[in-house]
Chain A
Amino acid sequence: MGVTGRCVVEEERRVRANAREYNEKFQYASNCIKTSKYNIVTFLPVNLFEQFQEVANTYFLFLLILQLIPQISSLSWFTTIVPLVLVLTITAVKDATDDYFRHKSDNQVNNRQSQVLIGGVLQQEQWMNVRVGDIIKLENNQFVAADLLLLSSSEPHGLCYIETAELDGETNMKVRQAIPVTAELGDTSQLARFDGEVVCEPPNNKLDKFGGTLYWKESKYPLSNQNMLLRGCVLRNTEWCFGLVIFAGPDTKLMQNSGRTKFKRTSIDRLMNTLVLWIFGFLVCMGVILAIGNAIWEHEVGVCFQIYLPWDEGVHSAFFSGFLSFWSYIIILNTVVPISLYVSVEVIRLGHSYFINWDKKMYCAKRRTPAEARTTTLNEELGQVEYIFSDKTGTLTQNIMVFSKCSVNGHSYGDVQDMLGHKAELGERPEPVDFSFNPLADPRFQFWDPSLLEAVKLGDLHVHEFFRLLSLCHTVMSEEKSEGELLYKAQSPDEGALVTAARNFGFVFRSRTPKTITVHELGQAITYQLLAILDFNNIRKRMSVIVRSPEGKIRLYCKGADTILLERLHPLNQDLSSITTDHLNEYAGEGLRTLVLAYKDLEESYYKDWSERLHRVGSAPEAREDHLARLYDEVEHDMMLLGATAIEDKLQQGVPETIAILTLANIKIWVLTGDKQETAVNIGYSCKMLTDDMTEVFVVTGHTVLEVREELRKAREKMMDASHSVCNGFYQEKLSSKLTSVLEAIAGEYALVINGHSLAHALEADMEVEFLETACACKAVICCRVTPLQKAQVVELVKKYKKAVTLAIGDGANDVSMIKTAHIGVGISGQEGIQAVLASDYSFSQFKFLQRLLLVHGRWSYLRMCKFLCYFFYKNFAFTMVHFWFGFFCGFSAQTVYDQYFITLYNIVYTSLPVLAMGVFDQDVPEQRSMEYPKLYEPGQLNLLFNKREFFICIAQGIYTSILMFFIPYGVFADATRDDGAQLADYQSFAVTVATSLVIVVSVQIGLDTGFWTAINHFFIWGSLAAYFAILFTMHSDGLFRMFPHQFRFVGNAQNTLAQPTVWLTIALTAVVCIVPVVAFRFLKLDLKPELSDTVRYTQLVRKKQKTQHRCMRHAGRVGSRRSGYAFSHQEGFGELIMSGKNMRLSSLALSSFAPRPSTSWIDTLRKKKGCEGSSAGSPSGAADKTLRV
């Protein structure tokens, strides 16, 4: 964008706060974003310049110039200029509208308001007026306007929270902290005096790195990414903050990451351009042949004929005459590449785009967003997609975590039940559980199984302990704006879901201080002393808290991945553990994210000893991590199992079905997500990309080049081995020669999971092919923790080596580069931001619409475009080649066969509308069938309907038609006379006969090609024929001739010629001979080698109900293997932050004096009712009972 425009490469950036004059020296980019291309003044010249960069347009301009030279002008100038002007106008109008919308969206972004500190006063400024070096104030939930250095915030210690979903797709909240010296600058007057100077790296696209130094008051302060707020982030849970603009507009990391806007062309476009070049070559060949013919003719015959027809002035030799005739022939034969081709293609695409926009089945009523084809030039490519690159969050998932099921003490809760207690089918849900007893409940929380609440109310100790754990063991922060109106700031939505569940079931996490957690347990406030948070990390896959209950008992609560936790249980838990494992399997099979919960009582003395050791390790600088891990490991042992939770990462509606259908349509789906591996894999399972039937799921997590290479090699070997055992070494010979094909023919189903680190290595030049081969051999590929740029690189890689059409779909700003890189970019217009949509070619609000976009719209578009192109080339060859044959009979003089008006109007009036109607409306099979038989999509991927072979067939048919079109009338006219004895074979009658039979033949042909005759098709086809005759008779009328005798020389021709039975018999014969063989071939092809679509049509015709054999959708209820998903999309170190109290406000700290021990009478009464059933259950929570009893 703007960066490229500047000639001097920036080496380092110096920014001084509150010093606009100083900063202006460097001419940094302003915060104004410009994606539009023209303004009112520049539009015409720039647009025309751009249009004439198109080869086709220049070519026609060149032709026009040729036609102005009288010696070679074989056609009037208007035969070219009329279509050319038409084309240029249509394109210009379209470009103008596009640019208008870009202006609008630019303005919208540029005019967003932000508060800028100017002269010590906060002023409302538009985004585009923000300069580098300005200090701006952000408020909660505002978008960050530029890349800022955080100076201070409303939160203590200069902390602030941001959501970076727009930027990298990670949905968890992140913490940024101002450097201590600036954190104190709380009010505007202080900030206005701030004159620190930042020296930092030049603009780049690395989202997670920033290096710089702040010079202020003669001291240096290092700056890191931890101090930066990047454009595109949203400020959350922070009332306000101040930041210093470091990078603005096009220099921001968001914009740097968005890649360059490339003009996308479809593969048909490229093929078309190649073909047009070939045709051009063919045209030159014809020109050369005819020019040589002309030279010979003039030399042999023309010389003798000179008494009647002397050579033109300046022509002295046959050779020169041949040279001139070459150009003349180029002019008259140019209609093989008609200019209307390009316009028609655009019109058809526009029509298809409108159909997409109008599709009610792609309209999301909930969000009130219809689908939108933002680019109108890519439609037919939608029918050829082979690879889909999908973002996860917001695209596949709704990014809503829902506490869905749980298993407590061997009892599973959460199945939706109907009145009779049977498992209910989806769709007939009963009323959700009523939480009205609990004033603190979150009204948005829904749960469908009333038995869990009953268990709570009945005082089931295990259930109580279960929820107590959920309310204690987390790193969620709470905020209570007014009494009872609790807001949780969860670092990950999973934790939020769990704590919210506990809250609704009566265990309300109310507030926390660095040392305490206050929980309202069934109406009573109980404050636990927080002794330690054993924080989460990737290796541990668990987190624990150690709390001291008001009774003084020390207990460790732990939640974590099942694989990890189940090994750490006390041997007593064996039975329970096996039941819970069954439940876990069940949950996992449904694609839920599971966690296992456990607790452990700690002896006072043991804890004291342990905490001392912890303290020691904590202060020791070296190998702190290892020591800590060992200590944590030691204490999290011999735990008692409480149960398991299952969280549903809510998929968007219809995602698994869509993926299944797309997979059946042979489309490979890769998920590229910034999220964590576990989460991504989990989603992979729940949306059926990964299944348990898969032979193997390879996981590549290597940190070094060698590791990654080794892992990839192993994966390939395994796949090879498997296919070898299947094929008995059939592939052995081919193996060395063509690795790719072997890998693609692999028998089993494999999947590949690769994380960001490994991907970085895998994408290096020497390994990318290896990676690609491995990945493409797999049915599903999941790349996790990838940066936006890596997403684009992966797409680029596939594009580069696979020659396949790629589609990228995503919803966030982090997907923008991928969307721009892929052949087709699809934006999900979700609730979050619109960057992805703005960068996309198509947008809609639900992932499931993708199947309709591809299988219905894409397929039809492709089909229509192919049929259109075939017919178009056919009709123009049939039309033009007649001149070629005529050349041999008219002394190669470049005499046209037809009237010049016929030549002008043939492509724009007589034959354009029927083929346009076919290109816009044609349908081979009804839309439902495309969904039922996803295999119908395959011809597009394999490029079967329009390729070089098909092209040659069309051309051959066109040439065949042109031969008949010329030689049959020739045979008839050669020495025949009319029925009134007059001459028949005059040039004008011949022209009218050939033109009429041509129009009739191509109309019959389009009728044959049209498979779907709507009223519009009827109107256009019959209308074109009618128009032809109407125009013919008008042009040949007396009145026009009297007005322009030079222009309308064919006066009286139509009525004289078309009154002859011979002429009509000639036309009929031509039509029969041209069409009958085509029908024969078509029918034989249909009869002997029917395509799937033909069969579908046929079965449709005979109304045989056929079972949807191709669909093998499996429904819910399969048994899945258990996958350990420590579901937290969670960052390490949050626990530490909490314990340090850094993120606590002073106010809340003050409030959190240890509350007096609450009386537990309420809970006691409940317990007494239940008697001692609780303890007699022989549960592991016997100890817990005791602690709870006061």
Chain B
Amino acid sequence: MKNKTNVLPREGEAQPSRCPDNTAFKQQRLPAWKPQLTIASVLSSFFLTGAFCLTVGVCLVLSANSVREIQIDYSDKCSDCSKLRENSSNWNKECHCSVNFTLKENILGDVFMYYGLQNFYQNHRRYVISRSDAQLLGRNVNIQRSYCAPFSTYRNGTPMAPCGAIANSIFNDTINLFYNHNSSVIQVPLLKTGNSWWTDKNVKFRNPESYNLSSAFAGTARPPYWQKPVYLLDEEDERNNGYLNDDFIIWMRVSAFATFRNLYRRVRRVRHFTEGLPAGNYTFHISYNFPVTRFKGRKHVILSTVVWSGGSNPFLGIAYLVSGTAATLTGFVITGIHLKLRKKKTYFQRR
């Protein structure tokens, strides 16, 4: 016995150098959760998913239905103007047109005014990259090295501010809304600021620093398609001018698809319009500057309210309803198949 007790530990000491450690990790014995698809878990997940989707779907459909929306395509209604704009030499000629429409019932709540464009490929790769974020941040950068070309500098070397295809192609129609109330025409008060993302307005865009805006943009020129330089975008409001102009900021946030709508104005809820837009006749007065016929595009002006799920968008609600139904049905089908084949299965197990 003595010998044994003496010898064994010594062997034990010599061993560890080569003997693998007996740890759960190294021996692949880590404790683990082993989920399995059992009939109970699968069926419950299907019915729960189904119920969830159906509930969400119903909510979405209901709320989407409560959205009021008016969409007016004015690209044809102002055909004279569009013809005029087809010839780019007329760029400085003004052209106005008006579009009438009637609201049969009141639109209550916040009303948003959008312009919509169709077939305008803001998501084209070359278009998307054609901007200089550093320039828009008010930095003095060499835009020649950005992707702004060919809208970066004029031949004489004057840089464009802002540069790039996006800025150059800004939507420059002016749309005003008038309410024909008892034969008097009231201009609907519209808010032109506060429409863009806070981060865009406060982080992403900055005017170059100087004692005033025009001197800040000294040495630069407006993009070729612009009628006025960037520091005159909004002469009334200093904080909505230059790169900080809301319309500009919104335009610069390019859309994902060729058909899109951008927020243009919000109805200011004062006087007649504290509840929203009352029923009646309205007129859009449009200063038509943005040519779309060249690329077979269309322009819309849209008035809409919003709910918690956003504007009118039936797709999501319907999609939820469909997938909820599908999940529930699949649950029943699986139950059916399982019950039908249970006999076989127990046989298999017993064997």
Contact = CB atoms under 8 A, between A and B. Distances in A.
Given A977-B114, A1013-B34, A1062 B134 contact: no
Given A308-B127, A365-B19, A1014 B32 contact: yes
Given A977-B306, A1082-B37, A360 B20 contact: yes
Nearest to B258: A889
A309 interface: yes
B296 A304 contact: yes
Contact of B338 (A891, A983, A991, A1087): A1087
A312 B197 contact: no
Contact of A976 (B123, B133, B311): B311
Contacts of A706: none
Interface stretch (A641-649, A707-715, A965-973): A965-973
A346 interface: no
Nearest to B324: A1072
A983 B125 contact: no
B190 interface: no
A1069 B127 CA distance: 31
A1062 B316 contact: yes
A845 to B, nearest CB: 11
B319 A365 contact: no
B313 A983 contact: no
B99 interface: no
B276 to A, nearest CB: 13
- Give the most central of B45, B49, B197, B204: most A CB within 10 Å: B197
B32 A970 contact: no
Interface centre among A975, A986, A1072, A1077 (most CB of B within 10 A): A975
Interface in B30-48: 30-39, 42, 45-46
A985 to B, nearest CB: 5
Contact of A1060 (B198, B310, B338): B310
A1065 to B, nearest CB: 6
B320 interface: yes
A1045 B310 contact: no
B144 to A, nearest CB: 14
Interface stretch (A584-592, A616-624, A936-944, A1095-1103): A1095-1103
Contacts, number: 297
B308 interface: yes
Interface string A1037-1065: 01001100110010111011000111001
A1075 to B, nearest CB: 9
A890 B112 contact: no
Contacts of A893: 121, 123-127
Interface string A303-320: 011011110110000000
B123 A1076 contact: no
Contacts of B49: 1072, 1076
B30 A1065 contact: no
Contact of B348 (A986, A1077, A1090): A1090
B220 to A, nearest CB: 18
Interface stretch (A220-228, A351-359, A507-515): A351-359
Contact of B294 (A307, A923, A990, A1104): A307
Contact of B308 (A369, A990, A1061): A1061
Most chain A beta carbons < 10 A, residue from B116, B125, B349: B125
A785 to B, nearest CB: 37
A301 B295 contact: yes
A1062 B123 contact: no
Interface residues of A, number: 100
B20 A1038 contact: no
Nearest to A927: B28
B218 interface: no
Contacts of A1069: 53, 316, 319-320, 323
Interface stretch (B76-84, B178-186, B248-256): B248-256
Given A893-B124, A1052-B203, A1104-B349, A1097 B36 contact: yes
A1076 B323 contact: yes
Contacts of A1082: 37
B263 A309 contact: no
B247 to A, nearest CB: 12
Interface string B100-138: 000000000010101010011111111110101110110
Contacts of A135: none
A308 B316 contact: no
Interface residues of B, number: 104
Interface in A1080-1102: 1080, 1082-1084, 1086-1088, 1090, 1095, 1097-1099, 1101
A361 B199 CA distance: 61
B45 to A, nearest CB: 7
B203 A973 contact: no
B137 A1045 contact: yes
A1087 B341 contact: yes
Nearest to A983: B262
B34 A1011 contact: yes
A1104 B261 CA distance: 63
Interface in B320-340: 320, 323, 326-327, 330, 334, 337-338
Nearest to B323: A1073
In this complex, which of B119, B122, B313, B326 has the most chain A Cβ atoms within 10 angstroms of its Cβ?
B313
Given A983-B260, A1046-B146, A1052-B197, A368 B319 contact: no
A363 interface: yes
Contact of B204 (A304, A980, A1051, A1087): A1051
Given A358-B21, A1038-B203, A1049 B133 contact: yes
A1016 B316 contact: no
A912 interface: no
B168 interface: yes
A683 B225 CA distance: 94
B337 A1087 contact: yes
A1076 B203 contact: no
Nearest to A1109: B351
A363 B15 CA distance: 11
A344 interface: no
Contacts of A890: 121, 123-125, 257-258
Nearest to A968: B319
Nearest to B293: A304
A304 B348 contact: no
Contacts of A412: none
Contacts of B38: 1101
Contact of B311 (A365, A891, A981): A981
A1098 B311 CA distance: 49
A895 B337 contact: no
A986 B310 contact: no
Nearest to B134: A1045
B71 to A, nearest CB: 9
B345 A1087 contact: yes
B256 A921 contact: no
B261 A977 contact: yes
Which of A357, A369, A889 has the largest number of chain B CB atoms within 10 A?
A889
Nearest to A308: B169
B92 interface: no
A1016 B122 CA distance: 44
Given A977-B311, A1052-B203, A1065 B32 contact: no
Contacts of B310: 976-979, 984, 1060, 1062
A1013 B31 CA distance: 8
B173 interface: no
Nearest to B112: A981
25 contacts: A308-B127, A308-B165, A309-B121, A369-B18, A890-B124, A891-B258, A968-B319, A975-B313, A976-B316, A981-B304, A982-B197, A1015-B30, A1045-B139, A1052-B199, A1052-B200, A1062-B316, A1065-B316, A1069-B320, A1072-B53, A1076-B46, A1083-B42, A1088-B337, A1088-B341, A1090-B348, A1099-B349
Given A889-B123, A975-B311, 6 more contacts: A974-B315, A977-B263, A989-B256, A1062-B313, A1069-B319, A1087-B345
7 tightest Cβ-Cβ pairs between the two chains A and B: A1052-B199, A977-B311, A990-B256, A976-B313, A358-B26, A893-B125, A895-B125
